[in-house]
Chains A and B, each alone.
Chain A
Amino acid sequence: MIRVTDLTKDYGPRRALHSLSFEARQGEIIGFLGPNGAGKTTTMRILTGYMPPTSGEAIVAGYNVMEESIEVRKRVGYLPETVPLYNEMVVQDFLKFMAELRHIPNPEESVADALNMVGMTERAKGYIGNLSKGMRQRIGLAQALIHRPEVLILDEPSIGLDPGQVVELRKIIREIGRERTVLLSTHILSEAQQICDRVIIINKGKIVVEDTPENLQARLVGGERVVLRVRGDAAELSAKIEQVKGVQRLKSNPDGSLEFEYLPGHDVRPEVAKIITNGGYEMLEMKTLSLSLEDIFLELTKEQVVTPKKKRRL
């Protein structure tokens, strides 16, 4: 369980978090989304007791991170973004070390379990320094899981993994998320869409939106986007289409095509098609694109993105 109330963090004059508030229940996987520097890592570091907030309160696994930091740290598993590991150590020795720091009664057994969970049993006797990025990530995850924490906090867990490993990792996370609380940060939106029960998008230290991935898509984007390509005077046509009730955000693309959105349930396509044929235009193409979480993300964090790349629609 995680409950964050009005969490604020200043780094000198720069405010990294602006009174953040959110909640994560047991058995819930929360995705933390945001551009670089949005405050994801800062929030996670506060929740794991690595640094204190400037103001506000955070309760993790029933304990206050400020006042009962040690109790919180006993119950939290954390995978930092950089996956810091001791390169000169043997994998199983390192995990045993972490298990001992956490006073696990049966360190050897827990090490074997954790290694098994992340599928690294056969590399148990190898040096950490010789592992690939993806394998390090898995050892980092094993380290976070070794004490079977109530709350698991993962900072960009899938970065640097190959597609096969990503699928595996998601499986592990979903497994864990069944009875524990998982908070993971990512900027891969499809990942959040696939594994998270709820997504929190933050930007510049503020929560922009918080919802389930499905609702986000339905609520924010609203609807469908239509790309239209005709032969003829696009400007004139554009003016006509604008008249149609339900058409939103009409714009013409540099490649000559027109683009607009409509709300679900108000399908304007037949009417638009009628205008085109009646007006004597030749229709080359009409297709609908459904907005992805990616678009929502860009929309919501607009100011942050310096030059949003125009997606080629054709």
Chain B
Amino acid sequence: MKNIWTIAKREYDNYFASPLAYVIAAGLLFLLGGIFLIILQGSIQQAIFGGGTPVDIGFINQWFYYLLLWTVPALTMRLISDENRTGTLELLLTAPVRDFELVIGKWLGSFLYILSVIGVSFIFAIVANYLAEPGIDQVKMMSSYLGLILIAGALLALGTGISALFNNQIAAFFVTLALFIVLWLLIGIPASFFPSNPAIGDVFRYLQIGNHYESTFNAGVLYLSDVIYFLSLIAIGLFTGVTAVDSRRWR
């Protein structure tokens, strides 16, 4: 277990050793700041006169989730593929580190990075809360952030798993991105082909990421099935990673 933390810590520090992490964090926060501006404009009246409904911070996290689909592949692409390419994997796997510790450590490192960015974006919620009266719906905000954290964890786990399959980070990037686009958009399309059999349609709809966030977590409604959905994605991603690392060793 200590190894997981050691690897995660190195990975986290490593993000800040390259400009990529700063560029992604700055880009994310800049775009989300723009969304926040729009929200603020909408609540000027509230800020002046008070009353009305609470400010909906969910709109920002909705966008955060869209942006994650495009940035997570860049964050995870080199996690394991680069270790493979440069041969440092040999160094790690001849040290007393188990395969799952390596993969979970890598994932945890990237997860901590995204958590830091999510932490910074929390400023939006705090500002909105104090700027307008009656502030924001805090329960809804909590649920929205919880959902966002689960989405980030799931996407990062899938990206980590795919990274382990490749030697080349660009290949890992595009495969990860393609998977995310499928999970985000494309997998919902077949659902409309089965109008007579809603059960099949439901299967496809269940696989779509947005259906587990947009109208549930982000609307302040928690379903166990949504939590299970994200936890299973995390499990699938990490399992893929461990299997890929393991298979390299046994080839």
Interface residues of A (CB under 8 A from B): 45, 48-52, 70-71, 73-74, 76, 78, 80, 82, 84-89, 93, 97-98, 100-103, 143
Contact yes or no, B92 A52, CB < 8 A = no
Contact yes or no, A52 B249, CB < 8 A = yes
Q: Given A80-B90, A143-B91, check contact A51 B250 (CB 8 Å).
A: yes
Interface size class of B (residues with CB under 8 A): 20 to 34
Contact yes or no, A74 B96, CB < 8 A = yes
A-B residue pairs in contact (CB < 8 Å), sample of 14: A50-B93, A50-B94, A51-B249, A52-B250, A70-B96, A73-B95, A80-B90, A80-B91, A84-B86, A84-B88, A84-B89, A84-B90, A87-B86, A102-B95
CA–CA, A87 and B83, complex, Å: 11
Contact yes or no, B95 A86, CB < 8 A = no
Main secondary structure of the interface of B (DSSP, over half): helix
CA–CA, A256 and B219, complex, Å: 96
Tell yes or no: B17 within 8 A of A by CB: yes
Q: Given A51-B250, A89-B17, check contact A101 B90 (CB 8 Å).
A: no
Contact yes or no, A78 B94, CB < 8 A = yes
CA–CA, A71 and B6, complex, Å: 19
Interface centre among A49, A51, A80, A101 (most CB of B within 10 A): A101
Q: Given A84-B87, A89-B17, check contact A101 B249 (CB 8 Å).
A: no
**B2 contacts across to A, CB distance below 8 A:** 100, 103
Interface residues of B (CB under 8 A from A): 2-3, 6-7, 10, 13-14, 17-18, 86-98, 249-251
Contact yes or no, A70 B98, CB < 8 A = yes
Contact yes or no, B87 A82, CB < 8 A = yes
Closest partner residue, chain A, to B105 (CB atom): A101
Contact yes or no, B249 A102, CB < 8 A = no
Interface centre among B17, B86, B94, B251 (most CB of A within 10 A): B94
B42 smallest CB distance to A (angstroms):
44
Q: Which of B7, B17, B18, B96 contacts A73 (CB 8 A)?
A: B96
B180 smallest CB distance to A (angstroms):
27
**B6 contacts across to A, CB distance below 8 A:** 97, 100-101
**B91 contacts across to A, CB distance below 8 A:** 78, 80, 84-85, 98, 143
Contact yes or no, B250 A49, CB < 8 A = no
B71 smallest CB distance to A (angstroms):
20
Closest partner residue, chain A, to B88 (CB atom): A84
**A51 contacts across to B, CB distance below 8 A:** 249-251
